[in-house]
Amino acid sequence: MVTDQLTSFIKLFEYYKFLGDQTFTQLNADQLNYQPHSESNSIVIIVKHLHGNMKSRWTECLVSDGEKPGRDRDGEFINDVLSFEQTRLLWEEGWTYLFNALKDFSTADLETVIFIRSQGHTLLEAISRQLAHYSYHVGQIVFMGKMLSGNNWQSLSIPKGKSIVYNEQKFSSSPIKRHFTDEYLDDINL
């Protein structure tokens, strides 16, 4: 059961990374750097923040606090103008910290108490916390991408007006237990 839960978490993180990846394919560097006003975040800022968080949280997380002394969180929110390639590099590197850590965890590790800013969590709680945090920010990236792309946006879920067709397809086959992400690549290509 716990192993299934860890596998499910990994699939969910992969899914949110995929949503971000698919958003990036629809944008250019100017759009990634667009900041509506000084108190808002550009996609670049969000990526810098995710990168900093992922590096801090998932580097040696079983033996050191998840808020590393060298992290410059405030610097993550400065609107540096980055190229498309620089942004993608930070994006990929951040996710690599996460996935490298997750693949090394054992079932026994999930009940280990780890710390984030001296606040104790089981590893399972910390994974849940970060899943919520990352999905929140990926949602912001997707929302901004959709706004910036306008009518050129390619849907990352069930496209408008396609719900009936989608549901008919789903209900036409026998019920099966599997993780929804096992088929999301097929589903978004309706």
For residues 109 and 178, membership in a common domain is answered with no
The predicted-structure confidence for 22-66, as pLDDT tens digits, reads as follows 999 999 999 999 999 999 999 999 999 999 999 999 999 999 999
Structural domain containing residue 99: 2-154
For residues 162 and 145, membership in a common domain is answered with no
pTM (two decimals): 0.91
For residues 181 and 124, membership in a common domain is answered with no
For residues 54 and 133, membership in a common domain is answered with yes
For residues 18 and 104, membership in a common domain is answered with yes
Q: In Å, how far from its chain's centre is CA 68? A: 20
pLDDT tier for residue 190 given thresholds of 50, 70 and 90: very low
pLDDT at 81: 95
Q: What's the number of domains the chain is made of? A: 2
The predicted-structure confidence for 101-146, as pLDDT tens digits, reads as follows 999 998 889 999 999 999 999 999 999 999 999 999 999 999 999 9
Q: What one-character-per-residue DSSP string does 78-125 give? A: S-----HHHHHHHHHHHHHHHHHHHHH--GGGGG-EEEETTEEEEHHH
Per DSSP, the chain holds a count of helices (H) and strands (E) of: 8, 2
For residues 110 and 177, membership in a common domain is answered with no
pLDDT at 51: 98
CATH number at residue 13: 1.20.120.450
For residues 126 and 188, membership in a common domain is answered with no
For residues 32 and 94, membership in a common domain is answered with yes
